[in-house]
Structure 1
Amino acid sequence: MERLFLLAARSRGLPIWARYSATTLIVLACFGLRLLVFGWGPGQPYLLFFPAVILAGVFFDRGTGVYAALLSSLLAVCFMVQPQGILRIADPTDLLALLLFLAISVFTAFLLESLHIALTSLARERTSLAAANAELAGVAKARGTLLSEAVHRARNDLQRLAATLRLQAGAAVEPAARQVLAEASGRIMGLARINARLDYHREDGHAEVAIRGFLEGLIQDIREVALNLAPVALVVRAEDHLVPMARAVPIGLSVNELVGNALKYAFPGDMEGQVVIGFRREGEDFILTVEDNGIGSDGAVAPHGSGLGTRIARALAGQLGGHLESGSAFPGSNRPGLRWVMRFPCHGPA
């Protein structure tokens, strides 16, 4: 029905004389059909005129629908209502039937006009909505392109800065200064890797990251860079949640620091081991865990070094609106290990 009304939009634009002439022909056709079916008898004088009213209302307008009803009434009264051949109604029942036919026909004509207006308005709104959706899709695509470009430029800048620090570390005379510059370069490269993974795992142009794929990619990067330190397996056991990019950065930096500490200090010599990175949701909080089965620690500071990595991880937890705690992963065993647990709200500061 909707398609029929939309197709009739062209016929509604015809000149007035064309619409009313066509309506007259439709009424005469219905009159001929009435004579063919019932003859000149008085029975059912109005029944086959209803299609004329409906066709005029659908393909033209309510004016032609009312005109079809009046013309049909005129023909029915003249030729099918007693006394036949004159414009007069003798029987009150026939008068009631005429009034009923006119009332129903006029109501039908106005109803069809209202339906046409509603469907035309709906079609226009659909067209406008489709255009708006196309425009929004274009904006989203452009935003995604700009975001990717920004991430790419930031990654390049970070890589250049890390390379500069490595050169300075190689030229430094003091071992302490060389170590500090090398660690700074490593952290900047870690941030560059995080930026690369953020862009890779970003969802459909939106500023959100699928956290499981992000962590798996980040751990793969760490594995390629750092596993020459010890024969340690890195395992990711993460639920998949969408996390804003602004919050994914401190999450990735925390993982980089905590896993880096585990690889440096939890497995001295050629000790084999495993580091498990977990991510899950509990109620309104996200839980990030980094657990190893190494030699263990008191949890307050790293076994060796300055403890800067731990302090950075705690600061990042605070930036997320949460906190970082540590404890033995396997208390009582000869390899108690260390478990870091970061809890922070799902929705909060970045």
Structure 2
Amino acid sequence: MPWYIMERLFLLSARSRGLPVWMRYGATTLLVVICLGLRLWIFGDKPGLPFLLFFPAVIVAGLTFDRGTGIYAALLSGALAVWFLLEPGGLLRITDASDLLALMIFLAIALFTAFLMEALHVALRRLAQERAGLAIANAELARMAEARGTLLSEAVHRARNDLQRLAATLHLQAGAAAEPQARQALQDASGRIMALARINARLDRHRDDGQAVVSSRGFIEGLVQDLREVAVDMRPIAMMVQAEDHPLPMARAVPVGLTVNELVGNALKYAFPGEMEGRIRVSFRQYEAEFVLAVEDNGIGFDPGAPPQGSGLGTRIGRALAGQLGGSLEASALSPGSNRPGLRWVMRFSAP
């Protein structure tokens, strides 16, 4: 019999164990008498295997009721077998040594079966109690995880709103600034704060339920989509993403998202002057024990010996973010020697 069926039977028998004593022992007596009747009907009073058909009564009594009824079934079966099936018959006396040995073996096996059934009852009752406790604990953990996820979403939402308000304030101040350099600095600061707000939105959208972990593929693809909508506008620039799916803790996802924003933003500003068409590709993959984030374009490139086209702040921010992750950020030409050498930025940091 498969174990799960046996377990089901034991759990169902928990109700019958609560029946009155007279009913349990009366039913056990009836079981033993039925087994005796089957033995006489099948084999008559012929000698041989006098105890075999009493085992079902012991097993059913122990399974359905308790250890006491199992012991009672074993003793009653032995007594009835001696009275009806063993010589001289009609007496509770055994004259043949082999019959005495058979009776002792039967009682030993039957009593062991009764105690075994009781042990299984106890074990399965404890298992049922532990399962019930585990189900309650799991429900509580699920409730706590849901509450934590709700709190985390609310915190991210509030932070995003605060960042958006701060970015709007800086944008207004930039419009009122008289100095061009101050105006540009305020606009850049506003843009970076808006980028952080977009990153927070993506963190909330792509994180696992109740966990401070995001899917790298959805997170990076979403960021690039945001940049395409905000920064590319009608320019003839194609943006592509090839990102593997890895779990990223939020604490690591934020620097990754900011790096993508800085490097893609620099490419959009400087790689394609005027209305030059071009391509920007963002990739994220794991190579052995490292994560590798690459942002490359097929633009005009840059001369490492020449002064930076802008303030160089984006590059410094990117290297600082790589340092936060314990990694590095390096640049190289995508197609050296061509009229459009392009630029490839690679950030490497350890994978967990």
Q: Does 1:56 align with 2:56?
A: no
Q: How far 1:300 moved relative to its partner?
A: 7.4
Verify the 8 A CA contact 1:261 1:302 in the aligned structure 2: no
Corresponding residue of 2:288? 283
Q: Does 1:152 align with 2:157?
A: yes
The amino acid that maps onto 2:20 is P
Corresponding residue of 1:66? 71
Verify the 8 A CA contact 1:202 1:209 in the aligned structure 2: yes
Between 98-107 and 227-236, the greater mean CA deviation after superposition: 227-236
Q: Does 1:227 align with 2:243?
A: no
The amino acid that maps onto 1:239 is E
Aligned pairs for 1:186-205 (under 5 A) are 186-205=191-210
Between 78-87 and 184-193, the greater mean CA deviation after superposition: 78-87
2:330 corresponds, among 308, 319, 325, to 325
Q: Does 1:248 align with 2:253?
A: yes
Q: How far 1:127 moved relative to its partner?
A: 1.9
Corresponding residue of 2:94? 89
Q: How far 1:14 moved relative to its partner?
A: 2.2
Corresponding residue of 1:17? 22
Q: Does 1:162 align with 2:167?
A: yes
- Residue correspondences, number: 347
Q: Does 1:27 align with 2:32?
A: yes
Q: How far 1:210 moved relative to its partner?
A: 0.9
Q: How far 1:58 moved relative to its partner?
A: 0.5
Between 201-210 and 254-263, the greater mean CA deviation after superposition: 201-210
Report the 3-state secondary structure (helix = DSSP H, G, I; strand = E; otherwise coil) of the residue aligned with 2:108.
Answer: helix
Residues of 1 paired with 2:207 and 2:78: CA distance?
70
Q: Does 1:339 align with 2:344?
A: yes
1:121 corresponds, among 114, 119, 126, to 126
Corresponding residue of 1:239? 244
Residues of 1 paired with 2:306 and 2:191: CA distance?
20
Aligned-residue sequence identity (percent) comes to 71
The amino acid that maps onto 1:161 is L
Residues of 2 paired with 1:125 and 1:199: CA distance?
36
Residues of 2 paired with 1:285 and 1:10: CA distance?
60
Q: How far 1:231 moved relative to its partner?
A: 2.0
The amino acid that maps onto 1:260 is G
Change (3 A) 1:83 1:228: closer
2:266 corresponds, among 261, 266, 280, to 261
Deviations 1:193-235 (A, max 9, x none): 1111111111233211111111111111111111148421111
Verify the 8 A CA contact 1:70 1:102 in the aligned structure 2: yes
Q: How far 1:74 moved relative to its partner?
A: 1.1
Deviations 1:65-102 (A, max 9, x none): 11111111111111211111112111111111111111
Verify the 8 A CA contact 1:230 1:267 in the aligned structure 2: no
Residues of 1 paired with 2:306 and 2:134: CA distance?
59
Deviations 1:182-202 (A, max 9, x none): 111011001001111111111
TM-score (norm 2): 0.95
Verify the 8 A CA contact 1:314 1:324 in the aligned structure 2: yes
Change (3 A) 1:19 1:301: farther
Residues of 1 paired with 2:242 and 2:85: CA distance?
87
Aligned pairs for 1:171-210 (under 5 A) are 171-210=176-215
Instruction: Identify unmatched segments of 5+ residues in structure 2.
Output: 1-5
Change (3 A) 1:229 1:180: farther
Residues of 2 paired with 1:5 and 1:228: CA distance?
70
Change (3 A) 1:64 1:273: same
Verify the 8 A CA contact 1:212 1:238 in the aligned structure 2: yes
Report the 3-state secondary structure (helix = DSSP H, G, I; strand = E; otherwise coil) of the residue aligned with 1:85.
Answer: coil
Corresponding residue of 2:276? 271
Change (3 A) 1:67 1:302: farther
Verify the 8 A CA contact 1:299 1:327 in the aligned structure 2: no
Report the 3-state secondary structure (helix = DSSP H, G, I; strand = E; otherwise coil) of the residue aligned with 1:251.
Answer: helix
Q: How far 1:152 moved relative to its partner?
A: 0.5
Residues of 1 paired with 2:44 and 2:87: CA distance?
14
Verify the 8 A CA contact 1:166 1:185 in the aligned structure 2: yes
Residues of 2 paired with 1:64 and 1:205: CA distance?
52
Residues of 1 paired with 2:43 and 2:280: CA distance?
93
Verify the 8 A CA contact 1:321 1:344 in the aligned structure 2: yes
The amino acid that maps onto 2:108 is A
